[in-house]
Every structure is written in C-alpha cells, then in structure tokens.
C-alpha cells in the first residue's frame, strides 16, 4: 500500500534542510539541464493539501475541452487534435477525446484507439523536415478532460533531449506561428490519409 500523505511528507521532510529544501536533483547536473547548479536551490517542501483542489473541468458543464469539441486541426467521431500556440519548440499538439473522459475512464475500445492514434501522430510529427523526435506526455493534474501532449524536438538541439524539453520549451523564444501552422497542416493531412477522420471545419489553434 502506498504511504499515506502525512507519511510521504514526513519521509521527504526528513531528507530536507532546516528550510524544508531538498538537495538538488541529479537531473540538474545533466548536460541537457537548462540550469547551472551553482546558485540554484530547491523550493521549500510544502505539507500535503487535503482534500486536493478540483481540477479544471471536473464538471463536464464547466469543461473547456468539451465546450470546444469542434476546434482543432483534425477530428473524427471520438478524438480531436489541436495545435498549442505560444510555444518555443517547432510544434506542440494536443489530443483530446471528444467526450468527457479521463485516461482511466476510457473503455478498452477507446484505449486501443488512443494507442494506435498516438503512434500515427508521433510518426507524422517525426516525418516533418528538421524534426528529430516526437515526445509524448500525459500528466492530468490541471484538467480533468484527458489531454495528451506531442512535442516536436528540433533536429540537432542536443540540450532538448529527454525530460527537460518541456522546460526548455518554456524558456525559448516563441516559434514562428506561420511555420508551425504549416507543419500542423501537414500532420493533419497525413493523419487523414493514414488513420481517417477529417480536417476540422474550425481550424483555429488552441491555447494551453
């Protein structure tokens, strides 16, 4: 059984200093880290917050993902794909179920669709010129409606390898929107050809 919240906090607190600051992570010493360890320190560890605050869209009637079900770059009967604007890497896409589901709520049939569709999207993102790899993330602490992220890693930028890439994305200057729009259209067209579905009638970028 997992540790109770107070047990988890007590164990972590015991490893912290008098200001409740844990040691720097090993990741900060990696060559791909966007931060130099000198002068960097960990934020104080906070005690558990219970009950946890509700995520956005716990109530489907107040869910932006449900409200914007017809927006994006690609749609089929069960899923929609949007482009996230204002990012630093070449392309960030987000896949949502069109109905109000979180990951654990998916039927086996929808879960199987998600796996195949994720593979198709990643394949088409990686086929774009000057893109080395598609990073795929599902977090879920901010919004209750399932959303899966696809980050296009630019070719040759070795510091953007791996788990630090989402932080680098937030540090980099905004990528040219017209280039990202064109690449998103290529991915959407390729998805129609390989998986089916259609380009959205409301082809507007989505803001995270």
Domain ranges, ordered by start, for the chain: 1-52, 61-195
H/E/C letters for each residue in 38-100?
Answer: CCCCCCCCCCCCCCCCCCECCCHHHCHHHHCCCECCEECCCEEEEEECCCCCCEEEEEEECCC
The mean predicted confidence, pLDDT, of the chain is 94
Q: Which pLDDT tens digit goes with each residue over 111-142?
A: 999 999 999 999 999 999 999 999 999 999 99
Q: Which pLDDT tens digit goes with each residue over 59-84?
A: 999 999 999 888 999 999 999 999 99
As a whole number of angstroms, the distance between CA 117 and CA 120 comes to 5
> pTM for this one?
0.92
Cβ(16)–Cβ(153) under 8 Å?
A: no
Helix (H) or strand (E) segment spanning residue 136:
strand 131-137
**What are the backbone angles phi and psi of residue 195, rounded to the nearest 5°?**
-125, -20
pLDDT at 173: 97
Q: Which CATH class is domain 61-195?
A: alpha beta
Query: Could you give the maximum distance between any two Cα atoms of the chain, in Å?
Result: 59
As a whole number of angstroms, the distance between CA 25 and CA 37 comes to 9
Structure tokens at 33: 């880290």
How far is Cα of residue 165 from the mean position of the Cα atoms in its chain? 11
pLDDT at 200: 84
């Amino acid at each position: 059984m997992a540790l109770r919240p107070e047990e988890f906090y007590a164990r972590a607190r015991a490893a912290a200093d008098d200001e409740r600051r844990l040691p720097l992570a090993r990741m900060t010493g990696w060559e791909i880290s966007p931060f130099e360890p000198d002068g960097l320190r960990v934020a104080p560890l906070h005690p558990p917050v219970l009950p946890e605050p509700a995520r956005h869209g716990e109530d489907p009637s107040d869910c932006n993902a449900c409200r914007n079900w017809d927006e994006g770059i690609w749609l089929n009967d069960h899923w929609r794909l949007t482009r996230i604007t204002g990012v630093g890497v070449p392309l960030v896409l987000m896949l949502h179920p069109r109905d109000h589901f979180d990951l654990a709520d998916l039927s086996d049939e929808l879960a199987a669709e998600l796996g195949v569709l994720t593979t198709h999207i990643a394949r088409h993102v990686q086929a774009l010129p000057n893109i080395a790899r598609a990073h795929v993330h599902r977090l879920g602490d901010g919004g209750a409606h399932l959303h899966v992220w696809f980050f296009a890693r630019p070719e040759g930028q070795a510091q953007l390898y791996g788990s630090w890439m989402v932080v680098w994305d937030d540090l980099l200057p905004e990528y040219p929107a017209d280039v990202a729009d064109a690449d998103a259209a290529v991915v959407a067209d390729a998805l129609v050809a390989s998986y089916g579905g259609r380009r959205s009638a409301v082809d507007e970028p989505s803001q995270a």
